[in-house]
Amino acid sequence: MRGLLWFSGWVDRLSVGTSQRTSWLVLASVLISAGNAVMRKAFNIGSNAFLEVQWYLFSGVFLLGAGYVFLKNAHVRIDFISGKLSARANALIDVIGILLVILPLCAMLISLSWPVFHQAWVSGEMSQNAGGLIRWPVLLLIPVGFGLLMLQTASELIKRIAFLSGHLDHAITPELKAHEEAHAEVQS
């Protein structure tokens, strides 16, 4: 279990580092969007490339940030049910959900999206819009994003199993546990 927990910590650090770098894509997207709007309104000059790069950047934010969202336990939950269950029951539900839904979904989406990316790479596929961009970079985000989510999912699975087997005192990252306890006190 010690080696698995080390791997889990490494994946958690990867997710944090990826999210810190990915957050800059939001700023870039806002600046490009504002610049594009000013150019269109003030000078009647527009570019499909600017519109597409915004789409690429937003895709990067969501796809590359999904693992971090899972790490921070900020994903969608049915709180009115999970709040009534014990930590062990929630961890067991998480293990079942991870094994039956998230890991198979990630594997399927990676296997389906990789050939699409590869074909775009090999063919040099371009957007059909005038002045559009090459497509392979945004298509690469799909398998990479789901790969990162799959790694974080494995990390979360390790932590839940370690908690259930008595190797950890909590099912989620310690600083998150403290945050959730403080949040629960505020809501009480």
Q: How many separate domains does the chain show? A: 1
- Is the model's pLDDT at 133 over the cut of 90? no
pTM: 0.79
Q: pLDDT (tens digit, 9 = 90+) per residue, 134-185?
A: 888 989 999 999 999 999 999 989 998 888 887 777 767 655 554 455 555 5
- Return the closest-CA partner of residue 184 out of 71, 84, 75: 84
3-state SS class at 134: strand
Cβ burial 68-93 (10 Å sphere, 16+ → b, else e): bbbbbbeeeeeeeeeeeeeeeebbbb
Q: By residue range, what is the domain housing residue 146?
A: 2-187
3-state SS class at 178: helix
Predicted local confidence at residue 119, as pLDDT: 94
Dihedral (Cα; 132, 135, 139, 145), 10-degree rounding = -60
Structure tokens at 43: 């000078």
